[in-house]
Amino acid sequence: MNKDRLKEIFASALGKTIMVFGDVMVDEFLYGKVDRISPEAPVPVLEFNSHVFLPGGAANAANNIRSLGGEVLLAGCIGEDFAGERLLQELARRGISTDGLITASGKPTTLKTRVIAHTQQVVRIDREERAPINSTVEGGIKEYIKGNLEKVDAVLVSDYGKGTVTEGVLKELVVRCREPRKPIVADSKTLFIDCYKGVAALTPNVAEAERFTGIKVAGEESLVEVGRRLLELLDAKAVLLTRAEQGMSLFEKGGDVTHIPAISTEVHDVTGAGDTVAAAFALALAAEATIKEAAFVANLAAAVVVRKVGTATATPEEVTEILHEWKGSS
């Protein structure tokens, strides 16, 4: 991958539309500093400084696609609550359509609150309900997908196991994408094997891949076994396995295995990095990059966001700038 080719991919990504379907969330951050311990209990006292709300989960993936130059349609559900209202506001500010977010009565919007002292996360509080969406909400999401699928170039499924991604929607989505050959990239914490069969690619981390296959990664041999087993289970074109500081490993249906080294960097926060990987990978595929090129773009985009504190996005300029730090660049 060189700078000219990277610029070509981003130029081709302009105007490409990705449908993101999955568990939308709100990421709340409380920032401050700590310089003393509470006299009431052995815990730090945070002197509050600032407070932000950001799109999280599938909404973060959508935000990354938008930041990287693509267009996005977002399908999912929100609750009748403050977090849902705030998410709609934040998405609207970023030019992301909220027409595909169905309101679910009785199911709250997932809200993750992180307390940050200086640049260090102190604690995270999750407010969520993992029960599956009801048939009314599921029907609304199906209708939105059916009515808008012809407008998109690729689909990203962002499944955090919060109940939005159901077998019924998945099966219909895969069938509808098969004939026009719209690639589906799946970023999933759960795995409905039968439903995901035929997707273009899966982007798990090592822990998820181990859980999906029942194989423990203990070295090069078992790593390759896990990748090939996932390809077999899903009948996918590729599996992009993220490996934290060890980079990524790409397994392709034809048998190719490519290990992509991580860019040496100071990691400030890995919040949402997986969303960035899946978003960049899906957008690059929509821009007709090869699978290997799309994996390289995803690796670069991830290196950009982990340098930032909080749920972050990458821009084409930032990704291009960081390319020279990748030891495989030319």
Q: Helix, strand, coil shares of the chain as percentages rounded to 5? A: 40, 30, 30
Q: Which of 239, 245, 200, 201 is nearest to 223 (CA)?
A: 239
- Rounded distance, CA 222 to CA 230, Å? 12
Q: Which of 299, 191, 322, 203 is nearest to 247 (CA)?
A: 299
C-beta of residue 114 within 8 angstroms of C-beta of residue 121: yes
Side chain identity, residue 237: K
Q: Which of 18, 152, 119, 24 is nearest to 78 (CA)?
A: 24
- Rounded distance, CA 66 to CA 64, Å? 5
Single out the catalytic residue among 23, 187, 269, 275: 275
Q: Which of 192, 275, 274 is nearest to 234 (CA)?
A: 192
The angle formed by the CA atoms of residues 71, 72 and 77, to the nearest 5 degrees, is 165
Token pair belonging to 5: 């080719």
Residues 6+ apart with CB under 8 A from 128: 25, 108, 110, 111, 112, 162
- The reply to whether 275 belongs to the active site is yes
C-alpha radius of gyration, the chain, whole number: 19
Task: Outline where 287-329 has alpha helix (H).
Answer: 291-305, 316-322
Where b means 16+ CB within 10 Å and e means fewer, 151-165 reads: ebbbbbbbbbebbbb
Positions marked catalytic: 275
